[in-house]
Structure 1
Amino acid sequence: MAENNFPPLPEFIPLKPCFYQDFEEIPEQHRSMCKKIYYLWMLYSVTLVVNFVGCMAWMFGGGGVTNFGMSLMWLILFTPCSYVCWFRPVYKAFKTDSSFNFMAFFFVFMAQVVISIFQAIGIPGWGVCGWLGTIVFFSTNIFAAVIMLIPTLMFTAVATLSFIALTTVHNLYRGTGGSMSKAQEEWASGAWKNPHVQQAAQQAALGAVQGGMQAQDPSNTPDYNNQMLIQNEI
């Protein structure tokens, strides 16, 4: 089994990589698309970092502290969660042509597209430097608003590219004959092939057979005639 190599952490950090990632194991016809989605994840992660800086400028420029705190939460939570929740499923889907992983990717990534759109809009108090907060803040502090404009443009780019990626992967999946029923069949067959499930089923069947054999064993059947004779003798 290959050793985990992602994320590539420095040796002085007492943590080990959690995942194995090598685009060479992706089939050649899907390798380019898989890399593009990986670059999209990198762009989103960088956007969250830049948004954190933008919210810091927003705070020092006279804005509230809430946006700064929320931007830190976005950065800490959504950088790893986006990798695990939508990039890893599509990576495994391209690797093994797994309908179940494709469906997991579609379900989560649709939510990611919606979140990116709201981040680009920039509802105040959400911890993002979107269009609403940036445009309004130009009348308060132009310098801070210009810094806020950078993550705003990046969020807009992420939302647009995410929508394009979602439709592209969906068309690619449907073009190969994929469907929800296929994913359900794959999940069902995969669950049946699980060795733990098989072992439990075998044990249950064996227990039922043994129970039936014991019930039919004459030695376990009460001898009512002998009992009557004993009672009469008493």
Structure 2
Amino acid sequence: MSGFDENPFGEPTVDNPFADPAVQQATSGVSQAQRGLDDYNPFADQPQQPKPPQVRGAANPPQYQYPGTQNTVQPAIMQPTQETLPPAYARSGQQSQDPNVTAEFQRRQEELERKAEELARREEALKNAPYNVRQNNWPPLPQSCCFQPCFYQDINVDIPLEFQKVVRMLYYIWLYHGGVLLLNVIGGLILLFYDGKFVTFGLSIFYVFLYTPYSFLCWYRPAYKAFRDDSSFNFMVFFFMYFFQFLITMSHTIGFTSGGACGFIMAISVFNDGGTGAGHIIVGILVLIIALCFGAAACMDILLLTKVHAIYKSSGASFAKAQAEFATEFMKNEHVQGAAQQAATAAVRTQVNNMTSGGNRF
């Protein structure tokens, strides 16, 4: 009857391979995994994973909390600075320069090289000279002349570089004075033929032979020595003599009657003498030009006197220093030393004679 109880429409149990317990155990694990995938919800809250411990450093500095409060303070973090790169070089590590500046530097370098060569040549000439003695070279006279130079003058060698321009200006103004005096001789000669008066022409020749060497010896050479040796005494001599030269030039500019100079008064007298003709006007114009030349010389005299005085004040010279230099130079003079020795010898002899005569009395 048990065989009739089976459902003829049910699944067979005898030949069903899935009814084996081993197969069912194996398939149960697969079904559970399938069931787990079916039940997974990606939008559901996932359990939180433990975070790794944070490492404190420059990127994550520690925070400080005030005691008893919830306030925390984070230390300041300095941002790295960005350095600006230098401008690119034009060529082979050198910056581009202005062509005008380069040309100026090159010109100055060439000028310095020429001066160095000139100084080297002069030094070599001095070394090759006999006994290394500088020969007189002024006035520049030819070798065949019966007169020989009396002074040695070389501004480029003797005078410091910062004073060479002033000394040259003094030399040129001395030449200008000599030229104006020669022009005054020509004016005196013209007046001699114009009115027959010999006074102006004679005195003009006298002025040329007197003032030209006087001005060179009395104020130009002291100025040359003052700048060469930084001598306060020579500066004093220059100031005194050059001011005297200025006064003489001013008197020539005025041109007093029968004063020997073609000045403004002389020019006015020529214009007002009542002469007629073109020769009268030409003579007056020539005398007036000479008067203007004397006036220009006087103006240059006062300007140079002021300039040299400013240099004298800035150099630290003084009248006391000039007195000390004068005393030293005076005592070094051979003639002065000889006279002092003779005076001392005479005084000693007198004293000895007095003592001898006194002893004979007793």
Fold-level similarity (TM above 0.5) = yes
Distance 1:95 1:159 in 2: 26
Name the CA distance, whole Å, in 2 between partners of 1:33 and 1:124: 36
| Shift, 1:200, TM fit | 7.7
Q: 1:20 aligns with which of 134, 147, 152?
A: 152
Aligned length: 213
User: Separation in 2 of the partners of 1:200 and 1:123?
Assistant: 46
1:107 aligns with 2:240: yes
Q: Distance in 2 between matches of 1:197 and 1:68?
A: 42
What amino acid maps onto 2:289 in structure 1?
I
Give the secondary structure class of the aligned counterpart of 1:170.
Answer: helix
Q: Which string of whole-angstrom CA distances, capped at 9 and with x for unpartnered residues, describes residues 56-92 of structure 1? A: 1112111521011000101111111111111001001
Q: What SS does the aligned partner of 1:61 have?
A: helix
1:116 paired to 2:255 = no
Mapping for residues 36-185 of structure 1, pairs under 5 Å:
36-62=169-195, 64-139=197-272, 140=275, 141-185=280-324
The residue aligned with 1:228 is none
C-alpha displacement of 1:145: 1.4
Q: TM-score, normalised by structure 2?
A: 0.54
Look up the equivalent residue of 2:223 and give its one-letter code: V
* SS class of match (2:183): helix
CA separation of 1:63 and 1:185: change in aligned 2, threshold 3 A: same
What is the RMSD of the two structures over their aligned residues, measured on CA atoms? Answer: 2.5
Alpha-carbon distance between aligned partners in 1 of 2:137 and 2:204, rounded to the nearest angstrom? 28
Q: SS of the residue aligned with 1:16? A: coil
Alignment partner, residue 5 of structure 1: 137
User: What does the per-residue CA deviation read over 1:124-161, in whole Å, with 9 as the maximum and x for residues that have no partner?
Assistant: 11111001101220234212112212221110110000
Q: Distance in 2 between matches of 1:124 and 1:198?
A: 49
Question: Helix, strand or coil for the counterpart of 1:72?
Answer: helix
| Superimposed CA distance per residue, residues 76-118 of structure 1 (whole angstroms, 9 cap, x where no aligned partner) | 1111111111100100111000111111111111100000101
Segments ≥4 residues shifted beyond 2 Å:
10-13, 189-205
Report the Cα distance in structure 2 between the residues aligned to 1:75 and 1:202, rounded to whole angstroms.
41
Structure holding more helix per residue? 1
**How far does the alpha carbon of each residue in 1:164-185 deviate from its partner, in whole angstroms, 9 at most, with x for none?**
1111111210122222221001
Unaligned runs of 5+ in 1: 216-220, 223-234
Higher relative contact order (CA 8 A, sep 6+): 1
Deviations 1:191-214 (A, max 9, x none): 345577678878959x97xx99xx
The AA in structure 2 aligned to 1:183 is A
2:294 & 2:190 partners in 1: Cα distance?
Answer: 17
Looking at structure 2, the residues matched to 158 and 151 of structure 1 have their Cα atoms a distance apart, in angstroms, of 11
Distance 1:195 1:116, change over 3 A: closer
**Which structure has the bigger radius of gyration?**
2
User: Which residue identity lines up with residue 168 of structure 1 in the other structure?
Assistant: K
Find the aligned partners of 2:341 and 2:166 in 1 and give their Cα distance. Answer: 43
1:16 is aligned with what amino acid?
Answer: Q
**Deviation at 1:18?**
0.8
2:18 corresponds to: none
Distance (whole Å) between structure 2 residues aligned to residue 83 and residue 60 of structure 1: 32
Preserved CA contact (<8 Å) 1:86 1:104: yes
Change (3 A) 1:81 1:176: same
Identity %: 40
